[in-house]
Structure 1
Amino acid sequence: MSFTDFFAIDWSGQAVERPKGLAVAHARAGTEAPEIVDRAWSRQDVLEWLEQLARDGTRALIGLDLSPAFPFHDEGTYFPGWEASPVDGPALWQLVDELSADDPHLSATSFINHPHARRHFRQRGDCGDLFPPGRGRFRVCEHGQEAMRLSPYSCFNLVGASQVGKSSLTGMRVLHRLRSKLGLWPFDPMPETGPVLVEIYTALPARLAGMRKGISKIRDRETLDTLLAAFGSAPHRPLPRYDDHATDAMLSAAWLRVAAAQSELWSPTLLTPELACTEGWTFGVP
């Protein structure tokens, strides 16, 4: 599939209006370096911006650094023992959005604290009785991430700087509101026109570009240019400030521009129709 534009969004689950960790990078077809879309983003801003891309019919590949669903395959359900447990990804997004309707800034605190939902999460000072021993439950594609020597975290873990559960839950609220406006691979059929959303894991492009295991942050001009070059990108315009949110987004946008043309990435070996509608898949995991 051919695209004219490539965006990568480093997401944030912070329960404030304008999270510092929310960054958007844009790369155009060709070799020009990605650029940061410079603004103090809110999640509502991103939602409205994505809606505008869809209205404009922009043929963009957009990577979201979040998990669009919880594990399902291992237990045959997202939330064992909860009668309201959704049957697929879109129903999950609707449930999270509805139970968090009174939370400001598209946060999801009410869902996490719901008496049935909270039993499945590990929170600071409150580990649910249905959170399994050890690291928690993982999606099939997250086991694939481990096979690539990455270090995924369970979406049910809400403790620590590397946890992804809060980001994923706030992202699910946005995905519900985008329903029928633009599609998310592999939950939706691939449209022949307009934008396409995919889940990304920003550590994956960094590893593919040559960043060795154990180093996870890009915070200087030289390192970023070296990694961008691995994806055929020209050097970037210097940033006023280097932080891992901006650099993760820029490197991921450059990688998406290359990865979009790799047909095997659109047909992962272990991706089944059931997983495509329940757990989804991380783009780039074979």
Structure 2
Amino acid sequence: MSRFAHFVAIDWSGAAGERHKGIALAHCTTGDAAPALVRPGHRWSRQEVLDWLLHHLPSDSLVGMDLGQSLPFADCGAFFPGWDASPADARALWAMVDTLCADEPHLGVNGFVDATEPSRHFRRHGGRCGDRFPAGRGRLRVTERAQEAMGCKPYSNFNLVGAAQVGKSSLSGMRVLHRLGGQIAVWPIDPLPPQGSVVCEIYTTIAAMAAGRPASRSKIRDGASLDHALATLGSAPFGHAGAIDDHQSDALITAAWLRTVAHMPALWHPAALTPEIARTEGWTFGAT
């Protein structure tokens, strides 16, 4: 049995502006009741999500956030090799991102990706590719290599270009993780505590695969397919007729999946997760 009483999944967005269709929160409790959307119909801002986590999160919650906790480190021995000020670990990276973007509204991150040294490592819009962004797909974390082995197609957090890029959403998420201020444990950067709430990184494709979807067709956009996926996870139906936003369905499926797998020790102790990787790169819950 899981020690958690509540399961929350957050589909995240790093898009410009204040409020985003791409942010969705879903919540469920133990048992098999269908997950529910948090504040359905509301268009969330990133700051509102942070405030909800700090002030409204139910106790003993497992919270999955669909973003990268950190940047690649293990492959080069540094986030930004060749830069003396490169942060030593994930928490120092979060602090740097938040500091360089302190005056930017809506938890934006342009101040970081446009800074002289960090910008050398990112592929940015307008054909701007830093001289330290390698040829091809870019650098990946160890957990992203594990995702590849599962059949997923992760993208480098140093890539800020294209519909599937995850770089800006991950960087804006790092500002949120930093501003949690240690009030909620962030696994595996923090060890899994014996009680209390925990935030972890999720990749919604992993949850969709567990719900019977192939990685190439992980997005669900109709209520019937959503209910079929939830049933595979042992959940009662959400009961939505017709089209549904895939950000909402991602969150709903992932909340139900977290409830199903949170008690599994193997997911908290993947073979490739060393203390050094936990401290620097973090990990995606469910990547094995």
**Same fold at TM > 0.5:** yes
CA gap of 1:200–1:133, structure 2 versus 1, over 3 A, is same
Which of residues 193, 211, 214 is equivalent to 1:191? 193
Which of residues 213, 224, 227 is equivalent to 1:225? 227
Higher mean C-alpha deviation, range 228-237 or range 247-256: 228-237
Structure 2 stretches of 5 or more lacking a match? none
Amino acid at match of 1:137: R
> What CA deviation, in whole Å up to 9, does each residue of 1:214-250 have, x standing for no partner?
2132010110011111110011132786111000000
Instruction: Tell me if the contact between 2:188 and 2:278 (Cα under 8 Å) persists in the aligned partners.
Output: yes
2:172 alignment counterpart: 170
2:49 alignment counterpart: 46
Moved over 3 A (4+): none
> What CA deviation, in whole Å up to 9, does each residue of 1:30-59 have, x standing for no partner?
1001111122211111111111146x6x01
Distance in 2 separating the partners of 1:216 and 1:166: 22
| Matched ranges for 1:1-286 at <5 A | 1-37=2-38, 38=40, 39-53=42-56, 58-124=59-125, 125-238=127-240, 242-286=244-288
Instruction: Tell me if the contact between 1:120 and 1:131 (Cα under 8 Å) persists in the aligned partners.
Output: yes
Instruction: Tell me if the contact between 1:53 and 1:195 (Cα under 8 Å) persists in the aligned partners.
Output: no
Distance in 2 separating the partners of 1:204 and 1:227: 13
SS, match of residue 250 in structure 1? helix
Amino acid at match of 1:143: R
Root-mean-square deviation over aligned CA pairs: 1.3
Aligned length: 284
Distance in 1 separating the partners of 2:206 and 2:151: 9
Distance in 1 separating the partners of 2:241 and 2:114: 39
Instruction: Tell me if the contact between 2:224 and 2:241 (Cα under 8 Å) persists in the aligned partners.
Output: no
Displacement of 1:2 in angstroms is 1.2
CA gap of 1:162–1:87, structure 2 versus 1, over 3 A, is same
Amino acid at match of 1:193: Q
Distance in 2 separating the partners of 1:249 and 1:184: 19
**Kindly, what percent of the aligned residue pairs are identical?**
54
Amino acid at match of 1:46: V
Displacement of 1:185 in angstroms is 0.5
CA gap of 1:88–1:241, structure 2 versus 1, over 3 A, is same
Distance in 2 separating the partners of 1:161 and 1:75: 27
Instruction: Tell me if the contact between 1:8 and 1:26 (Cα under 8 Å) persists in the aligned partners.
Output: yes
> What CA deviation, in whole Å up to 9, does each residue of 1:44-83 have, x standing for no partner?
11111111146x6x01000000001000000000001111
TM-score, normalised relative to structure 1: 0.96
CA gap of 1:157–1:126, structure 2 versus 1, over 3 A, is same
Distance in 2 separating the partners of 1:241 and 1:192: 40
SS, match of residue 120 in structure 1? coil
Instruction: Tell me if the contact between 2:208 and 2:229 (Cα under 8 Å) persists in the aligned partners.
Output: yes
Distance in 1 separating the partners of 2:229 and 2:93: 36
CA gap of 1:224–1:129, structure 2 versus 1, over 3 A, is same
Displacement of 1:193 in angstroms is 2.6
